[in-house]
Structures are given as structure tokens and as C-alpha cells.
Amino acid sequence: MLQGGVLPGTTNLIVGPAGSGKTLLRLHFLRAGAQAGAASLYFGLYELPPDLIAKADKVCLELSRWAASGQIVLHWQPVIENSLDILVAQLLHTIKQQGIQRVFIDGLQGLYTMGASPERLN
């Protein structure tokens, strides 16, 4: 569908209604990075890692294997626990510390509910 994937160094937004395949597409993105040797990060605001792993393993994406090897890092952060600044600091720290090359942030709406002004989300 993406004819080889997304372009390196780009930011992409995936939107659609529930059940349209957003999560499945994102999981393929992370797995493809892991298979290519790129450390990947799932930074989620809503879905717990065990639930995400179960969903991915159900469709044979082997997320449990990639997470166990450390090739895909799963980080869950409840929306109500931090400010936007703290959340972004954690994200950047994880990227630097783990040598992350692919990032998937799940929950744009969660960033809005943290009280951030829209212009700060750019």
C-alpha cells in the first residue's frame, strides 16, 4: 500500500475511524524497522503494551519477540500523569538512550487533553 514504506526523516500522521487499520499499519511499520535492524519505539498514551502485543501477535507480527529482544521498545504513559513538557522530555530521553531510529506516537488526542495549546503541538 505504501510502495516500500514512508520516506526516511519524515513525520506522518495516520487518521481514520476505529477499526480502519491504523494500529495494524503502525505495527507493520515498527516490525519492518526491527527487521531492518532499526531500533523502534512505540510511545503510547492509551493502549497498554500487553494489549498491543496480544493484538500484534494475533496477526503474526511477533511483537512479543521483537519487544523481548529490545529491538522494539514499548513505552506507555498515562495521559493524566504528566504535562506535555514532561512527556516530550521522556520521549526524547528514551530515543537518545535506546538509539531509537523509528518512533510511533499513539494518541495525538492525548496530547490535546494534557492542556497543551494547539500551536505547541507543531
HSE value, Cβ hemisphere, 13 Å, CA-based, for 61: 23
Per-residue pLDDT band for 1 (boundaries 50, 70, 90) equals low
This prediction's pTM: 0.81
* Per-residue model confidence (pLDDT) at position 122: 61
pLDDT in tens, 98-119: 999 999 888 777 766 666 566 6
pLDDT in tens, 44-70: 888 889 998 998 999 999 999 999 999
Domains of the chain, with CATH numbers?
Answer: 22-121 (3.40.50.300)
Question: In the numeric block, which cell numbers belong to residue 14?
Answer: 495516520
pLDDT in tens, 71-89: 999 988 877 666 777 888 8
